[in-house]
Every structure is written in C-alpha cells, then in structure tokens.
Structure 1
Amino acid sequence: MENLTTALLIGIIGFLGPMDFAVGSNLLNRPIIMGPLVGLVLGDLTQGIIIGASLELIFMGAVSVGAYLPPDVIVGGVLGTAFAISLGKGVGAAITIAMPIAMLSLAIGNLMSIIFPMIAHAGDRAAKEGKAGGITVSMWSIGLLECLRRGVLCFLGYYLGSAQIEKVLNVIPDKIITGLEVSANLLPAIGFAILLQMILNKSILPYFFLGFLLSAYFEIPVLGVALFGLILIFITMKFDNKGINNNQTVAATGSGVDDDDDF
C-alpha cells in the first residue's frame, strides 16, 4: 500500500511537469525542480537536489528547437531520480536510467501526437464559428493529455518497474556506474559548448573569455561574475541607447547644413 501511495505521488509530480507551459514557463518541468520534489516524496531531499541538479546539467541542451524533439526530460528526470533514490544508488545510476526512459517516453509521445491534429481541427472549427470556449477546450485538452501521459508513465514506471530496474542495475558492473559518475562531471561542459555554439559570435566572444579569466585567475565566484556581467550589460546598453538617440536626432533635424549645400 505504501508503494502504491508513493507511486501515486510520483505520478502527480510527473503530471504537474508539463503544467509549466500553462503557467508561464517557470521551469517547473526541469530536473532541477522535479528532482527535489521527488526527494521530498521519498524522504531524501538532499539526494533529490543532488541528482536533480546533475540531471539538469545533462539535459541542459534538451530544448525543442524548430522541428527537433528532445528526450522527455520530465519522465526521464522524475523516474531517474526516483529509482536512484529508492534503490540507494547515486548520480551514475540516475544517468543510466534517465536517458533510456526519456527516449522511450518521447516515442510514446510521438504515437499519442497522432490524435492532437484532430483536437486542433476542432479548435479551428470553433474559431470559424466564433466560439472562444471551444478554442480554450481544444488547447487545454491537448495540454492535459500531455500531463496525463507523463503522470501515468511516472506512476506505472515507478510502481511496476522498481524491481526490474534493480535487477538491471545489479547486472551492470560497478566500474561502468563509476565511469558514468565521472562522465557526469564532463557532460555539463558539453552542454555549455552546445549552447555556446548556438549563441556565440564575435561581438560576445570577448565577454565570454573575460568571464572565464575572472573565474579562473581571480577566483571570483560565479555569482560575482554574473553580477559583473550584469553591470557590463547596463553600461553597454546605455552607450548604445545614446548612439541611437543621437542618430534619431540627426535624422530628425537634418545633417546640420542647408539642403541647398548639397547642390
């Protein structure tokens, strides 16, 4: 009975994850939030924070861009953290569990997405008829189905899969688990590199190396570097705004000479 109650609470956490998109993208769906919640349910908040933060670094680049669908961070993060804590394993086990589960959940989500166009078409018909309520119902129906899918997968995965997962982890040699824990320390660097590849350009490259030098050679904490960068942003924006205002003034008043001088 206790296991059923715990599985229900884990399922509720999975259900709440996609609600992030309904309440303003407050990062509720990220492992760094889901992990501590799972830790609270399982009575080990500390491990929930540690594992959740580690999975967050690994899944940092798992963001939907264009047509790319990333692994299901919610189900993978929740079940990875839950199994690792309940089985007394560490970050390495959580990584081993989380990624395959995330990919499996993504595949199930792709199958379920077949019915979403039908719901969307119902919303289109409501829009043509001027029925705002029908549009709202279609939007929330898709969202709640996504919540339900994650909740059911997290519930069933934890309720039915703990024994099987334990058997799998016992078969895996300790050296592999230890290797995964070591690699977990390298994966954040890869995640940051992927993000930098998307945003890095010549204009911000000096600031990137400035932050690295401040941290590496002056041993300024990350928060201090972030505040220093914030000040630089305000200074840069102030000068840019002055340049824009000056250009607008010149454009409005002319170049300062009579038009006749151009002829």
Structure 2
Amino acid sequence: MLVQAISLSILASLLSIEYMNGHFGLSRPLVTGMLTGMILGDIQQGIIVGASLQLIFMGIGSVGAAVPPDQTIGSLIATALAILSGQGAEIALTLAIPVAVAAQSLDILGRTFCTIFIHMADGYAEKEQYGKLSMAHYLGLLVHFVRVSVIVFPAIYFGVDAVQAFISVIPQSVLHGLEVSGGMLPAVGFGMLLTMLNIPHLFPFFFIGFALAIFGGFSTVGVTMVAVCVALIIDYYKKNQTTVETASTNMDALDSLMED
C-alpha cells in the first residue's frame, strides 16, 4: 500500500502539472481513471469509474484566473478507493465531488503561497541571477507536489475514513471563504480574457456567452454548442456575401468590356 500511495501521489502531481501546462487531456477523469487502474492492477475498473466521473466533470473548465474543483485529484482518489474497496463506481460518485472541492481549497492556498516565489523571481531577474531565477520556479513546483501529496497520499494509504476525516476537519468558515474567493476569481479571468482579446467587434459574443452561462444556466458544453452554431451561421452568410460580391464584380467588368 505504501508503494501504491507514493506512485499515485506522483501520478496525481504529474497530471495536475499537465492540466496547468498545456492541458492535452491526460488529466481528464477518463484518462486519470485508466492510469489509476493501471497502477492498482485493474485497468478495466479504472476505465469504468473514469467514464462515470467524466460525465460529472464534463462541463468543468478553468477560465482565466478561476480555480474550479480539482477534477484530477477528485477522480484519482475516487477511482483508487473504488478499486481498493471493491465497491465500484457507486462509492466513486459519492466521493469525487467532496474530494475535488477539498483539493480546490488546497489549490487556491498553494497558488497564493507561490506568489512569494514570483517576487523572488522578479528580484533575481533584476540582478541577472538567472540560476536563482530558475530555482524560484522549481520551488513553486515543489509546493505543487506537496499540495497534491498532502491529500492524495493519506487518502490512499489510510483509505476512505481518512478522506472523510480530512474534509470534516476543515472549518466551514474557511471553506465558505474559499468558496467566495473562488466565485470572485472568474470576474478577474474574464477581465484578463477581454484584455487579450482586444477585438471590439467580438465583445458582444463574449458577453452573450457570459450571460448564457450565468443567467441562462448553460454549462460550458452548452455555451460551446451555441458558439459553434453562431460561428457556422456567420461563416455561411459571409461566404454567400463574398460569392455575390464576386459575381457582381465580374458582371461589372463584363459590362465595361461590352461597352468598350
């Protein structure tokens, strides 16, 4: 069990890094469940549980500075405990969300703590101490590994009781404060996206998507479907307009030639 707990802690850390740097899909619940099952010797059950959790977390995504529930850690721990306890997807579906929310709280704390290294890196950059500058980045990576291992290792090593005890120890006031902070962060994320977008004629579409998500109750998948349909409709009319303009230009040129 010690080897399995260490292996899954390392796997969780690597998958979380992948989610924050590139996001090629390896950290999604389906793949996470399969890799967890591979380490625990039951790939089939890992895929079954991962597929079930994929449906739960399908609409979750990080936008800008927003920190959503940690689907990677939640899926990994839930899949591992489902396999180790032999209770299948039922216990995984019960544990995934609470664990993901608890991991989200630690993620916010970890990111906040890492701002120390950002200021350190700025100071090293001004002094042209590039070796220490690299060290500051690796220190942030170390904090990330600790943050993941703190919740994954005891959960796997001690089992379901450890997870429930960990969640119950966190004061409700702390959880509520982190929840409020997490609710404010999307506004910062949207502001950052607007700054990067900097295309005024696309702003209305941006706010339409925001209104659908917030006031219309649309999930990320739903907003994406609406956006794709709108893009296809606009593309269709633009192509027709270009065809008509081209035909009109050719006719004008032909009329001019006939007059000559």
Task: Return the TM-score normalized by structure 2.
Answer: 0.63
> Aligned partners of 1:75 and 1:113: how far apart in 2?
16
Rate the CA distance shift 1:124–1:247 in 2: closer, same or farther, 3 A. farther
Alignment partners' CA distance in 2, 1:103 and 1:15 = 17
Once the two structures are superposed, the pairs formed by residues 1-263 of structure 1 within 5 Å of their partners are 3-21=1-19, 24-162=22-160, 194-201=219-226, 204=229
Inter-partner Cα distance in structure 2 for 1:61 and 1:134: 40
Q: 1:128 to 1:242 in 2, by over 3 A?
A: farther
What residue in structure 1 maps to residue 209 of structure 2?
A: none
Q: Secondary structure at the residue paired with 1:62?
A: coil
Q: CA RMSD in A?
A: 3.8
Once structures 1 and 2 are overlaid, which stretch shifts more, 95-104 or 26-35? 26-35
Q: Which amino acid aligns with 1:66?
A: G
Q: Do the aligned partners of residues 96 and 139 (structure 1) sit closer, same or farther apart at CA in structure 2, a change above 3 Å counting? A: same
Distance of 2:100 and 2:228 partners within structure 1? 36
Give the secondary-structure state (helix, strand or coil) at the position aligned to 1:136: helix
- 2:168 aligns with none
Partners of 1:162 and 1:89 in 2: how far apart? 12
Consecutive aligned runs of 4 or more in structure 1 exceeding 6 Å deviation: 236-248
1:131 Cα deviation after fit:
4.0
> How far apart are residue 50 of structure 1 and its match?
1.0
CA contact (8 A) 2:99 2:163 kept: no
C-alpha contact 1:18 1:147 (8 A) present in aligned 2? no
Amino acid at match of 1:118: I
For 1:43 and 1:32, the matched residues in 2 are separated by 16
User: Is the CA contact (8 Å cut-off) linking 1:31 and 1:55 kept in structure 2?
Assistant: yes
Is the alpha carbon distance of 1:121 and 1:238 closer, same or farther for their aligned partners in structure 2, counting shifts above 3 Å?
Answer: same
Relative distance call for 1:153 and 1:244 in structure 2 (3 A) is farther
Q: Which runs of 5+ in 1 are unaligned?
A: 168-192, 208-232, 257-263
Code of the aligned partner of 1:14: A
Q: Which runs of 5+ in 2 are unaligned?
A: 166-217, 254-260
